[in-house]
A and B are shown apart, each in its own frame.
Chain A
């Protein structure tokens, strides 16, 4: 499409859309055709620049685009039809909004003269998606298409990333219009100019605060991954310069290498004892691109009561939303960290050895509780053990992990240790069951040679199971590692701990035979139920070409600990089943009301 580089040409709307995607460097889109988008599919048919991945349900397309975006750092692109195509995409869009994932979703729409008439497959897509996108557009004139398409990519990827919907009426795609490739390096948006450089005096003040701290902790989030590998490298450099401990949210895992002794593991509801206690007792908290989510803070009025809080975020609305920051810095976390490093050097700061030693001694005491310990017998596979072995047997490979949502997700976060960013794809904010399989499809499309594993629960896996067909069609060698306990494990755990063991509707009856299921999709199915056979099953999974489903039969009623119960503070954790059975902080009605 070399003619696309000529300035100004007249094309059909559909051709403009495809040309704009090509000009954006888009190589792959995830979608599902339908009446309203047929002109666009026709334009796709006539070219070879963009690969289209046909999913089996539009929700899967958005999750696949998210997986692609999170593992490659490039925006994910989705193409779906009007009406049900768009409404099916809503969950994925909300997921991408909550986790700040750059996605551009093109939706078909009925012709402009039919909008508002309750036409076949008409839905008010911009109305429905307004609260679940960063921004959305309804294009009513073919001449606006080029501008809107490039704006959509700009908005999705600049500032705090997020999903953008472009709603495309069929006549707009058919009509002829003017298209000119813009200078993509110098796109100036009329109104949207997110601040990327932090205020210098605040950065200097933050560095002073960190230098004088006696019990500091870095609390890092998904914004580091979004900011890019340079930001993560700057984080490692700065943490190493200061020697301070660091904890991460679920979304931020991999930004700092888990094998480094300064890493205390994940914090929050199922975070480690050492991370949560260090957060509770710290005197200076350095929050980098995290957002004080309720899963992280626990009871707000007891959250880290004695600390000065530094909060760096690119989105001003994240600051002072849940927790008041003593020192707020609005900017791109990578750039701010770079300035912090320079400032620390210029001022010749050195870590306070005595204070650091005392602080690390306390942390070591918490660490020695070994809060993630579990007992693996000879008979039944503990889910923690399954993840631990999976980690040990895959850690030296080029591996990407996705998860569904629930207990298995938390165990994966606890026991799979990430050394690099962009290797871990999980639905954090929205908590979307059914995320992991389509996300793995997107990851594998972006990294065809890598080992891509969906750590799943059997209940979540069933939610988007149709995407096995996508994986098969594309010949994707995904490995689906199901921790099968026949329960919606996290629901069951909450019912046990908070609702008097009344297991209302949380047992998953009538599960499929996963071996036969695998067989019917041309995949390899494995089942394992003895701890002694686990390693062989994992090795077989890795060594088997193509799609593999492993049904790991795990302990049915294992609970995920540690746990900060609803409405409790960080230092009121339940560490074990014994403690859960015996005396523990009672959950108030207010706590019960929390999700």
Chain B
């Protein structure tokens, strides 16, 4: 019998925090101090009037670890709420990447063609290069990057995952 508790699973957790100095350091310090993984982490203010920021963190661990991560996050004093988007039903996850491809001739045309398939936009162009903007879930962006590699990919900038639950409920 497989011990379910040992299965490593990726979870996307949204954390609504008071936007006070050091709050991000608190969250990151918690992960490093207790040895949890951070696969990606994004943060931005989402409610200027109420001074609130939203942190989206993608992490992995077995069931007990994920439960610990949520409990540890929740007991940080400036944290309003913690929602495990992976556990609590369907959610939309998006990431944005800017990808620079340098090349000429056939490869250049091929990169444009693939960009079109991925609905990536060229947001900067020279005769030798493109910068593509692509959004989607992490898998789609990974696939796009893989295809660009042989076509002259030189630089990648990714935002990390942002996510929100589907349906009418809000955190």
Q: Does B21 contact A (CB under 8 A)?
A: yes
**Chain A residues with CB under 8 A of B71:** 315-317, 319
Q: A320-B64, A321-B68 are in contact. Are A130 and B25 (CB under 8 A)?
A: yes
B27-65 contacts to A, CB under 8 A, are 29, 33, 64
A128-176 contacts to B, CB under 8 A, are 130-131, 134-135, 138, 155, 159-160
Q: Shortest Cβ distance from B139 into chain A, in angstroms?
A: 31
Number of A-B contacts (CB under 8 A): 43
A305-319 contacts to B, CB under 8 A, are 315-317, 319
Q: Does B140 contact A (CB under 8 A)?
A: no
B77 touches A192 (CB 8 A): yes
Q: Does A126 contact B (CB under 8 A)?
A: yes
Within 8 Å by CB of B18, from A159, A191, A324, lies A191
A191 touches B75 (CB 8 A): no
Can you pick out 7 interface pairs between chain A and chain B where the beta carbons lie within 8 Å of each other?
A127-B22, A135-B77, A191-B77, A316-B71, A320-B64, A320-B67, A324-B5
**Chain B residues with CB under 8 A of A192:** 77
Q: A130-B29, A135-B77 are in contact. Are A324 and B21 (CB under 8 A)?
A: no
A190 touches B29 (CB 8 A): no
In the complex, the 5 A-B pairs of residues with the closest C-beta atoms, listed nearest first: A317-B71, A135-B77, A316-B71, A192-B77, A317-B72
B79 touches A316 (CB 8 A): no
> From A138, which residue of chain B is reached at the shortest CB distance?
B21
B64 touches A130 (CB 8 A): no
Q: Does B80 contact A (CB under 8 A)?
A: yes
Q: Mark B57-91 against chain A: 1 for CB-CB distance below 8 A, else 0.
A: 00000001001100110111111100000000000
B75 touches A316 (CB 8 A): yes
> From B16, which residue of chain A is reached at the shortest CB distance?
A191
CA distance A294 to B33 in the complex (A): 18
A239-267 contacts to B, CB under 8 A, are none
CA distance A139 to B160 in the complex (A): 32
Q: Does B26 contact A (CB under 8 A)?
A: yes
CA distance A244 to B76 in the complex (A): 37
B26 touches A317 (CB 8 A): no
Within 8 Å by CB of B80, from A135, A191, A320, lies A191
Within 8 Å by CB of A317, from B5, B33, B68, B79, lies B68
B3-24 contacts to A, CB under 8 A, are 5, 18, 21-22
B68 touches A130 (CB 8 A): no
**Chain A residues with CB under 8 A of B25:** 127, 130
**Chain A residues with CB under 8 A of B77:** 134-135, 155, 189, 191-192
CA distance A189 to B75 in the complex (A): 13
Interface of A (DSSP majority class): loop
Q: Shortest Cβ distance from B6 into chain A, in angstroms?
A: 12
Q: A138-B21, A319-B71, A320-B64 are in contact. List 6 more A-B contacts (CB 8 A).
A: A131-B33, A155-B77, A159-B75, A191-B77, A315-B75, A320-B67
CA distance A134 to B5 in the complex (A): 29
Q: Shortest Cβ distance from A300 into chain B, in angstroms?
A: 11
CA distance A324 to B21 in the complex (A): 35
> From A319, which residue of chain B is reached at the shortest CB distance?
B71
Most buried by B among A127, A189, A317, A324: A317
CA distance A126 to B75 in the complex (A): 18
Most buried by B among A131, A138, A319: A131
Interface of B (DSSP majority class): helix
Q: Shortest Cβ distance from B33 into chain A, in angstroms?
A: 5
B74 touches A324 (CB 8 A): no
CA distance A73 to B80 in the complex (A): 29
Most buried by A among B25, B33, B68: B68
B78 touches A191 (CB 8 A): yes
> From B79, which residue of chain A is reached at the shortest CB distance?
A191
**Chain A residues with CB under 8 A of B29:** 130-131
> From B63, which residue of chain A is reached at the shortest CB distance?
A320
CA distance A190 to B78 in the complex (A): 8
CA distance A131 to B22 in the complex (A): 12
CA distance A502 to B29 in the complex (A): 38
Q: A191-B78, A324-B64 are in contact. Are A130 and B22 (CB under 8 A)?
A: yes
Q: A134-B77, A190-B18, A191-B77 are in contact. Are A320 and B68 (CB under 8 A)?
A: yes
> From A154, which residue of chain B is reached at the shortest CB distance?
B77
Q: Mark A476-507 against chain B: 1 for CB-CB distance below 8 A, else 0.
A: 00000000000000000000000000000000
Q: Shortest Cβ distance from B162 into chain A, in angstroms?
A: 22
> From A323, which residue of chain B is reached at the shortest CB distance?
B64
CA distance A138 to B23 in the complex (A): 12
Q: Shortest Cβ distance from B51 into chain A, in angstroms?
A: 9
CA distance A321 to B22 in the complex (A): 26
**Chain A residues with CB under 8 A of B80:** 191
CA distance A65 to B104 in the complex (A): 71
**Chain A residues with CB under 8 A of B26:** 130
**Chain B residues with CB under 8 A of A159:** 75
> From A132, which residue of chain B is reached at the shortest CB distance?
B33
**Chain B residues with CB under 8 A of A191:** 18, 77-80
CA distance A126 to B23 in the complex (A): 11
**Chain B residues with CB under 8 A of A138:** 21-22
Q: A131-B29, A191-B80 are in contact. Are A317 and B64 (CB under 8 A)?
A: no
Q: Mark A190-203 against chain B: 1 for CB-CB distance below 8 A, else 0.
A: 11100000000000
**Chain B residues with CB under 8 A of A131:** 29, 33
Q: Shortest Cβ distance from A467 into chain B, in angstroms?
A: 30
CA distance A155 to B29 in the complex (A): 20
> From A189, which residue of chain B is reached at the shortest CB distance?
B77
**Chain B residues with CB under 8 A of A130:** 22, 25-26, 29
> From B81, which residue of chain A is reached at the shortest CB distance?
A191
CA distance A182 to B33 in the complex (A): 36
CA distance A192 to B74 in the complex (A): 9
CA distance A192 to B77 in the complex (A): 5
**Chain B residues with CB under 8 A of A189:** 77
Q: Shortest Cβ distance from B30 into chain A, in angstroms?
A: 8
Q: Shortest Cβ distance from B3 into chain A, in angstroms?
A: 11
CA distance A321 to B67 in the complex (A): 8
CA distance A543 to B74 in the complex (A): 52
B78 touches A317 (CB 8 A): no
Q: Shortest Cβ distance from A166 into chain B, in angstroms?
A: 13
Q: Shortest Cβ distance from A324 into chain B, in angstroms?
A: 7
CA distance A148 to B25 in the complex (A): 20
> From B76, which residue of chain A is reached at the shortest CB distance?
A135
CA distance A191 to B73 in the complex (A): 12
Within 8 Å by CB of A316, from B18, B64, B74, lies B74
**Chain B residues with CB under 8 A of A155:** 77
> From A155, which residue of chain B is reached at the shortest CB distance?
B77
Most buried by A among B21, B64, B71, B74: B71
CA distance A135 to B25 in the complex (A): 12
Q: Shortest Cβ distance from B73 into chain A, in angstroms?
A: 9
CA distance A126 to B78 in the complex (A): 15
